Chain A
Amino acid sequence: MADGRMEVRRRAGLRLWLSAAWLAVVVVVALLAPHLAPKNPLEQDLFSGRLPPFWQHGADPAFVLGTDSLGRDVLSRIIFGSRIALSVALISGTLTCLIGASLGLLAGFFRGWVDLVISRLIDIWMAFPPVLFSILLIAVIGPGLGSIILAIVVIDWTRFARVVRAEAMAQGAMDYIASARVAGRGRMGILWREVLPNVLPIIVVLLTLEMGIAVIVEAILSFVNLSISTDFPTWGGMISEGRASVHQAWWVLVFPLVTLFLTVLSFSQLGEGLKDRFDPVLR
């Protein structure tokens, strides 16, 4: 039995490292995109539209993963698409985390009317279908990178607020908080010095998971043509095009889909792996 547990632990460790490695690759690719991409991702060539990937009959070796219906290089577009995906993941993940976790901490630690207002807001938010809400927001404020980030923050802050509130409540009920209070610490001081460090592991886990969600939300919005300008390469936009021509040119859908899949999986496996690592701290 002990062997089995070791086995699980080892495999979980492997998953964690594989996820981290893939994300590192994506980060490097995004940073070096102009140097790595073989073609200009926006360059159209109507004479070489829907070329298959290199190993198939009729391929042009210059377009390693083939071209889309407008003759744009799929590989270059995936490479440049990573920039949008990562920007959205980092910026909106961090902002969502800051806002959601702060509200959750306040509600969970101070209780009273603060908690009442924030909890009711969370309830109302939970009654919205999230995808529809984000689409509605983007339609209202107009497409663009800023809009996507704003939409994700507005919709997903409850994810942090709910969990952090519960955790802060649990911490607030523990003896060490009472003794800190007896020792004459101020409430803000206790929140900052005592509660926050104990809630931090779960916030880090949520942040990692949120980045994966942000990547997906961006892809969904691109999929319904509400992300940034349709020219600019995004994984979701490519997937949307690929879905439309899936019977004629499967590679336009498959390659960005695999990239998106691996990235989302890596974020969530990283989050789960961190959760397991922090487990003795959490429970």
Chain B
Amino acid sequence: MNYLSVRHLTVRLKGGGLLLRDVSLEVAAGEVRGLVGESGAGKSMIGKAILGILPRAVEITGGQIVLDGTDLLTLPPAQRRIRIGATCALIPQDPLTALNPSHRIGRQITDRLVDILGWSRMGAEARALELLADVQITAPEHVLRQYPHELSGGMRQRILIASAFAAEPKLIIADEPTTALDVTVQKQILKLIAGLQAKHGTALLFVTHDLGVVSKVCQSLSVLYAGKVVEDTTIRRFFAGPAHPYSAALLAATPKYTDPTAGLNPVPEAVLAAVRAEVEHG
């Protein structure tokens, strides 16, 4: 049984062009699915559509987002919001802007547990301490009383990860969670996310443009180009040889996985043109 099924999702700019074309993808309970594509392909738009945080200028014109058997798009907005809040979580891209500069770290983890999920303040605080220990933050009591600007980017991303796992969500959407970090920190953060995901058995949709990251954490993969899923496959099959020419070009453009001595190869223009034609007419 798939925990999340996005079916034939179509999203367009109000009074403008299509951003997502008939997108379908599934994430099973406990599965990690990668969602790759170049910037502008609409990767983040899918995550936003699922979480109900699309920009105002954008609207969903068709399809279903089925979460645990219920189509979110048929729910009234308030119910949908609360259901998402209780069962899903987001690990955002930029830890520097994703924490509220006016509030202490403790509040930012515990508030939602108390406000939305009805936990006791004490229980939420105990949980926050436990979680900060889980993400390997030393002196968690001290950190809970600090403000975001007192912490490094890596620390903040750990806190955001801890916060995402706080309410035992069934689905986490990680939106390029390592892009804004130093390379050295990236590895640790990836390990943390993977470790927590395995421990909690959470379904994880991992949005990234980095195939290296995908190869480390994901079991399955959707490749997106110009708002359309061009390949839906497992990691093993993808790295053994992708079926779609765009995927192949993308893989070839990431030198590490083909020939470590080669330079960076851009996706050939001929491949791109062919894919574009296919997406727009097919």
Direct contact of A and B (CB under 8 A): yes
Interface residues of A (CB under 8 A from B): 1
Is B277 an interface residue, CB under 8 A from the partner?
A: no
Q: Which residue of A lies closest to B14 (CB)?
A: A1
3 contacts between A and B (CB under 8 A): A1-B14, A1-B15, A1-B57
Roughly how many angstroms separate A1 CA and B15 CA in the complex, as a whole number?
Answer: 9
- In the bound complex, residues from chain A placing their C-beta under 8 Å from that of B14 are 1
3 residue pairs, one from A and one from B, having the closest CB atoms: A1-B57, A1-B15, A1-B14
Main SS at interface, chain A: loop
Roughly how many angstroms separate A1 CA and B16 CA in the complex, as a whole number?
Answer: 12
Q: Which residue of A lies closest to B15 (CB)?
A: A1
- In the bound complex, residues from chain B placing their C-beta under 8 Å from that of A1 are 14-15, 57
- Give chain A nearest CB distance to B149 CB in angstroms: 28
Roughly how many angstroms separate A78 CA and B14 CA in the complex, as a whole number?
Answer: 54
Q: How many residues of B contact A (CB 8 A)?
A: 3
- Give chain A nearest CB distance to B14 CB in angstroms: 8
Roughly how many angstroms separate A1 CA and B55 CA in the complex, as a whole number?
Answer: 14
Roughly how many angstroms separate A1 CA and B58 CA in the complex, as a whole number?
Answer: 12
Roughly how many angstroms separate A1 CA and B14 CA in the complex, as a whole number?
Answer: 9
Encode B3-42 as 1/0 by CB contact (under 8 A) with A: 0000000000011000000000000000000000000000
Roughly how many angstroms separate A159 CA and B14 CA in the complex, as a whole number?
Answer: 44
Q: Which residue of B lies closest to A2 (CB)?
A: B15
Roughly how many angstroms separate A1 CA and B56 CA in the complex, as a whole number?
Answer: 11
Roughly how many angstroms separate A1 CA and B57 CA in the complex, as a whole number?
Answer: 9
Q: Which residue of A lies closest to B57 (CB)?
A: A1
- In the bound complex, residues from chain A placing their C-beta under 8 Å from that of B57 are 1
- Give chain B nearest CB distance to A1 CB in angstroms: 7
Q: Which residue of B lies closest to A3 (CB)?
A: B15
Q: Enumerate B190-243 residues with CB–CB distance to A below 8 Å.
A: none
- Give chain A nearest CB distance to B59 CB in angstroms: 13
Q: Which residue of A lies closest to B56 (CB)?
A: A1
- Give chain A nearest CB distance to B119 CB in angstroms: 41
Roughly how many angstroms separate A7 CA and B263 CA in the complex, as a whole number?
Answer: 54
- In the bound complex, residues from chain A placing their C-beta under 8 Å from that of B15 are 1
Q: Enumerate B52-111 residues with CB–CB distance to A below 8 Å.
A: 57
Roughly how many angstroms separate A176 CA and B14 CA in the complex, as a whole number?
Answer: 41
- Give chain B nearest CB distance to A268 CB in angstroms: 32
- Give chain B nearest CB distance to A101 CB in angstroms: 39
- Give chain A nearest CB distance to B15 CB in angstroms: 8
- Give chain B nearest CB distance to A244 CB in angstroms: 52
- Give chain A nearest CB distance to B197 CB in angstroms: 40
Roughly how many angstroms separate A111 CA and B14 CA in the complex, as a whole number?
Answer: 50
Roughly how many angstroms separate A167 CA and B97 CA in the complex, as a whole number?
Answer: 31
- Give chain B nearest CB distance to A281 CB in angstroms: 28
Roughly how many angstroms separate A1 CA and B59 CA in the complex, as a whole number?
Answer: 14
- Give chain A nearest CB distance to B188 CB in angstroms: 43
- Give chain B nearest CB distance to A37 CB in angstroms: 57
- Give chain B nearest CB distance to A6 CB in angstroms: 14
Q: Enumerate B157-187 residues with CB–CB distance to A below 8 Å.
A: none
- Give chain A nearest CB distance to B103 CB in angstroms: 33
Roughly how many angstroms separate A64 CA and B15 CA in the complex, as a whole number?
Answer: 56
